[in-house]
Structure 1
Amino acid sequence: MKAVVDQETCIGCGLCPSICPEVFQMNDDGKAEEVVDEVSGELVDSAKEAADSCPVNAISVE
Protein backbone atom coordinates (compact mmCIF):
# COMPACT_ATOMS: atom_id res chain seq x y z
CA MET A 1 0.00 0.00 0.00
CA LYS A 2 1.01 3.58 -0.55
CA ALA A 3 0.09 6.67 1.47
CA VAL A 4 -0.06 10.07 -0.21
CA VAL A 5 -0.60 13.49 1.40
CA ASP A 6 -2.08 16.19 -0.83
CA GLN A 7 0.12 19.19 0.03
CA GLU A 8 -2.43 21.66 -1.35
CA THR A 9 -5.18 20.36 0.93
CA CYS A 10 -3.16 19.70 4.10
CA ILE A 11 -3.69 22.29 6.84
CA GLY A 12 -0.78 21.07 8.99
CA CYS A 13 -2.84 20.01 12.00
CA GLY A 14 -0.32 17.30 12.95
CA LEU A 15 -2.89 14.59 13.58
CA CYS A 16 -1.54 12.01 11.12
CA PRO A 17 2.02 11.87 12.52
CA SER A 18 0.57 11.67 16.03
CA ILE A 19 -1.44 8.61 14.96
CA CYS A 20 1.13 6.97 12.67
CA PRO A 21 4.63 8.51 13.00
CA GLU A 22 6.18 5.57 11.13
CA VAL A 23 4.43 6.75 7.93
CA PHE A 24 3.84 10.50 8.37
CA GLN A 25 5.88 13.49 9.56
CA MET A 26 5.61 17.25 9.39
CA ASN A 27 7.84 18.94 6.80
CA ASP A 28 9.62 22.31 6.91
CA ASP A 29 6.52 24.00 5.44
CA GLY A 30 4.41 22.83 8.37
CA LYS A 31 2.53 20.31 6.24
CA ALA A 32 2.34 16.55 6.66
CA GLU A 33 4.22 14.27 4.30
CA GLU A 34 4.70 10.56 3.90
CA VAL A 35 8.10 9.18 4.93
CA VAL A 36 7.87 5.69 3.41
CA ASP A 37 7.38 4.59 -0.19
CA GLU A 38 5.34 1.55 0.79
CA VAL A 39 3.22 1.13 3.92
CA SER A 40 4.18 -2.22 5.41
CA GLY A 41 1.52 -4.68 6.54
CA GLU A 42 1.70 -3.96 10.25
CA LEU A 43 1.24 -0.21 9.64
CA VAL A 44 -1.70 -0.36 7.22
CA ASP A 45 -4.37 -0.06 9.91
CA SER A 46 -2.77 2.93 11.62
CA ALA A 47 -2.09 4.64 8.26
CA LYS A 48 -5.75 4.18 7.33
CA GLU A 49 -6.78 5.51 10.75
CA ALA A 50 -4.64 8.61 10.13
CA ALA A 51 -6.24 9.08 6.71
CA ASP A 52 -9.75 8.66 8.14
CA SER A 53 -8.95 11.12 10.95
CA CYS A 54 -7.66 13.87 8.64
CA PRO A 55 -10.06 16.82 9.05
CA VAL A 56 -9.63 17.93 5.42
CA ASN A 57 -9.29 14.49 3.75
CA ALA A 58 -5.80 15.26 2.48
CA ILE A 59 -4.52 11.68 2.82
CA SER A 60 -5.16 8.72 0.58
CA VAL A 61 -4.01 5.20 1.38
CA GLU A 62 -4.27 2.78 -1.54
Structure 2
Amino acid sequence: MDYIAERITIDDKLCNGKPTIRGKRITVQTILEFLSAGESKKEILRQYPSLIREDIDACLKFTP
Protein backbone atom coordinates (compact mmCIF):
# COMPACT_ATOMS: atom_id res chain seq x y z
CA MET A 1 0.00 0.00 0.00
CA ASP A 2 2.91 2.38 0.45
CA TYR A 3 3.46 2.18 -3.29
CA ILE A 4 -0.10 3.31 -3.91
CA ALA A 5 0.13 6.04 -1.29
CA GLU A 6 3.15 7.47 -3.11
CA ARG A 7 1.22 7.64 -6.41
CA ILE A 8 -2.36 8.42 -5.42
CA THR A 9 -3.20 11.61 -3.57
CA ILE A 10 -6.40 13.09 -2.20
CA ASP A 11 -6.59 16.86 -1.75
CA ASP A 12 -9.87 18.64 -1.03
CA LYS A 13 -8.63 21.59 -3.11
CA LEU A 14 -7.88 19.49 -6.19
CA CYS A 15 -10.55 17.92 -8.42
CA ASN A 16 -13.19 18.23 -5.69
CA GLY A 17 -11.27 15.85 -3.43
CA LYS A 18 -11.27 12.95 -5.89
CA PRO A 19 -8.20 10.69 -5.83
CA THR A 20 -5.62 11.97 -8.31
CA ILE A 21 -2.29 10.78 -9.59
CA ARG A 22 0.66 12.41 -7.83
CA GLY A 23 -1.27 15.64 -7.18
CA LYS A 24 -1.91 16.26 -10.87
CA ARG A 25 -5.33 17.11 -12.25
CA ILE A 26 -5.69 13.58 -13.57
CA THR A 27 -8.11 11.51 -11.53
CA VAL A 28 -7.91 7.82 -10.85
CA GLN A 29 -11.48 7.63 -12.13
CA THR A 30 -10.46 9.09 -15.50
CA ILE A 31 -7.72 6.50 -15.98
CA LEU A 32 -10.00 3.65 -14.93
CA GLU A 33 -12.69 4.85 -17.35
CA PHE A 34 -10.17 4.89 -20.21
CA LEU A 35 -9.09 1.35 -19.36
CA SER A 36 -12.66 0.08 -19.06
CA ALA A 37 -13.41 1.59 -22.48
CA GLY A 38 -10.63 -0.55 -23.95
CA GLU A 39 -7.79 1.99 -24.14
CA SER A 40 -4.33 0.48 -23.79
CA LYS A 41 -1.84 1.67 -21.21
CA LYS A 42 0.37 2.77 -24.09
CA GLU A 43 -2.38 4.98 -25.52
CA ILE A 44 -3.15 6.53 -22.13
CA LEU A 45 0.54 7.34 -21.67
CA ARG A 46 0.57 8.97 -25.10
CA GLN A 47 -2.45 11.10 -24.18
CA TYR A 48 -1.02 11.98 -20.75
CA PRO A 49 2.75 12.31 -21.22
CA SER A 50 3.28 13.38 -17.60
CA LEU A 51 2.22 9.90 -16.43
CA ILE A 52 4.32 6.76 -16.22
CA ARG A 53 3.27 3.11 -16.36
CA GLU A 54 3.48 2.79 -12.55
CA ASP A 55 0.83 5.52 -12.21
CA ILE A 56 -1.64 3.44 -14.22
CA ASP A 57 -0.76 0.32 -12.25
CA ALA A 58 -1.44 2.22 -9.01
CA CYS A 59 -4.86 3.24 -10.33
CA LEU A 60 -5.69 -0.42 -10.95
CA LYS A 61 -4.68 -1.33 -7.38
CA PHE A 62 -6.36 1.64 -5.70
CA THR A 63 -9.38 1.00 -3.50
CA PRO A 64 -10.74 3.86 -1.41
The question of a shared fold, defined as TM-score above 0.5 by the shorter chain, is answered with no
Max Rg structure: 2
Higher relative helix content: 2
Identify, as 1 or 2, the structure richer in strand: 1
TM-score, structure 1 as length reference: 0.30
Q: Which structure is higher in RCO with an 8 Å CA cutoff and minimum separation 6?
A: 1
Tell me the TM-score normalized by structure 2: 0.30
